[in-house]
Structure 1
Amino acid sequence: MATDTGWFRFSATSSETFRVAGELVRCGAEPDVIFRELYEQGTLARVRLAGRVLSRVTLDCDGKLAYTTVQWSDFEELGALTSDTEDLVNEGLMIAGTKAAFIAIEQANRQVKVSFRSRTDVNVAAVAEQFGGGGHKQAAGATLPGPFASALQKALDAMRAALG
């Protein structure tokens, strides 16, 4: 619940969400422990991967789009896991002026997992659906066939079109 609502900051968070969260706390859930287990138990490899991925952030569409990439060689060189990329896509939305972001992550089978995010009226679910994926208006994903450069270009072209 916490991750699906972005720790209760996404617009789809409702009073019912808070009611259920309150009930979980009443029954013994410890929000600080949950947060620590999810976000403060990383490995050195994850921190190094995050640094590499964040150094690649590129702005496009007059600063409205931020995107970055992870190639399979990054995982191999750093000893990182694909799960170490969790939430890195959201970093692009922290840049002033951005309306949408995506991260393209090459998998071991050379397919490319793309996670799309938006903080505006840009419907990233519609973008993901173009590639057989899906999700929500502000958070969606798809898996594209490789090679990596081709998949990245397709995702970039689709996001450019979505941003007009």
Structure 2
Amino acid sequence: MTQVAKTDVDYLAAAAEMVRTSQKITVMAHLNPDADAIGSTLGLTLGLRSLGKQVTPLLSDRVPEYALFLKGAGEIGSELPPDLEIDLIVCLDSAGIDRVGRIYDEDPDRFLRHPILNIDHHRTNPLFGTAYWVDAAASSTSEMVFRLLRELEAPIDVDAANALLFGIVGDTGSFQNGATTPGSLITAGELLKLSADSQGIAYHLFERKRFAAARLWGQMIAGIELDAARGIVFCFMTQRMLLESGATADETEGVAEYLRGVEEAEVVMLLKEDPDATVRVSMRSRPTVDVSAIASALGGGGHRQAAGCTLPGPMGEARRLLVEAFDALAIR
């Protein structure tokens, strides 16, 4: 591990120098990508290409439907070609190298053969890589990528601006959650000056739904359960619900945020059943509850008010593990 600097400004400068001296760059982010993972990956890719870099963007899981309006999102790859020449791997928004997912799991030794620059805003990041720039005070990795591109004096066109604003708006919940900072608002303002489409981004992130998705939301919300003693609302998505509604698992994006408004709940736990019966968990909370502690205890990660993990099924067992971790950590 090379500790490259002592201050945030120095970490940024060192990260910029590492990128500046590399030509063939592979950019990737965490599995089950959210808006920030997608926005930071795409924004950095477009920005570095404007400098003449050869950039390959990769995500282990496909880009969700709601993000495909972003120019270039559909071109993000999902396989690391065995013959791809790499000067530098930039790992974004990943609180651990294993969070990259399948691309890393299939050939972890390959990652040892290349320099890795770790750029992230998760406070649980273990500072992996050849060098790292981790800023837990940043709203999002997309905000950090904007600062990096400015440091590199890279042109930021409207497509890159849209991608970065998409990531910031996603991680701040449209500037309504605890990730919202003066820096995030200033950066958003700069991106708006570059003609980023804030209304279009908000529509695709929070409003646009297919009829099938609306049916799925109805099924899920109809089945919510309240654990009043613990202040937890549980919500479930099963494979049968997907079959009956015709929706996809990606289209559950936003359900947990919606349920965070339930007056009796301090925590929302959304459990989504995968085809192999494993359960993906998304947690949201009020400012008084740190759900990242629960996620970390169960092998996941995230932020104080937004975190997640993957658990063995069935649903009942996953719920038991969540409650057990909640109680063991004396969350309330």
Counterpart AA for 2:290: N
Match of 1:39 among 198, 206, 210: 206
For 1:146, the aligned partner's letter is G
Deviations 1:50-107 (A, max 9, x none): 0010111111133721111111111112111010111211222211132111110001
State whether residues 59 and 65 of structure 1, in contact with CA within 8 Å, keep that contact through their aligned partners in structure 2: yes
Deviation at 1:29, TM superposition (A): 0.8
- Matched AA of 2:304: K
SS in 1 for 2:258: helix
Which residue of the partner structure matches residue 253 of structure 2? Answer: 86
Pair 1:56-2:204 in alignment: no
Q: Secondary structure at the match of 2:268?
A: strand
Instruction: Give the % identical residues.
Output: 33
Where in structure 2 are the equivalents of 1:7-156 lying within 5 Å? 7-62=174-229, 64-156=231-323
Separation (CA, whole Å) in 1 of partners of 2:262 and 2:327: 17
Report SS of the residue matched to 1:146: coil
2:231, 2:267 within 8 Å by CA — same for their partners in 1? yes
Bigger CA drift: 40-49 or 153-162?
153-162
Q: Which residue identity is paired with 1:121?
A: T
Alpha carbons 1:63, 1:97 under 8 Å: kept: no
Aligned residues: 164
Q: Which structure has the greater CA radius of gyration?
A: 2
Q: Sort the Cα spacing of 1:160 and 1:72 in 2 relative to 1 into closer, same or farther, 3 A.
A: farther
- Aligned residues of 2:178 and 2:287 also touching (Cα < 8 A): no
Partners of 2:222 and 2:230 lie apart in 1 by: 16
- Cα distance, 1:113–1:74 mapped onto 2, change above 3 Å: same
SS at match of 1:132: coil
Question: Kindly tell me: are residues 40 and 120 of structure 1, through their superposed partners in 2, closer, same or farther at Cα, counting changes over 3 Å?
Answer: closer
Q: 2:299 aligns to what SS in structure 1?
A: coil
List runs of 5+ in structure 2 lacking aligned partners: 1-167
Compute the displacement of 1:160 (Å).
4.7
Does residue 5 of the first structure (1) align with residue 168 of the second (2)? no
Distance in 2 between the 1:9 and 1:36 partners?
16
Indicate if the aligned counterparts of 1:61 and 1:163 stay in contact, CA closer than 8 A.
no
Q: 1:163 offset after TM fit, Å?
A: 3.9
Deviation at 1:153, TM superposition (A): 2.1
Bigger mean CA deviation after superposition, 145-154 or 26-35:
145-154
Give the alignment's Cα RMSD to 1 decimal: 1.6
Q: TM-score, normalised by structure 1?
A: 0.92
Q: CA offsets per residue over residues 97-141 of structure 1, 9 Å max, x none?
A: 321111100011211001111113211111011210000111100
SS in 1 for 2:318: helix
Q: Secondary structure at the match of 1:116?
A: strand
CA distance 1:9–1:20, shift in 2 (3 Å): same
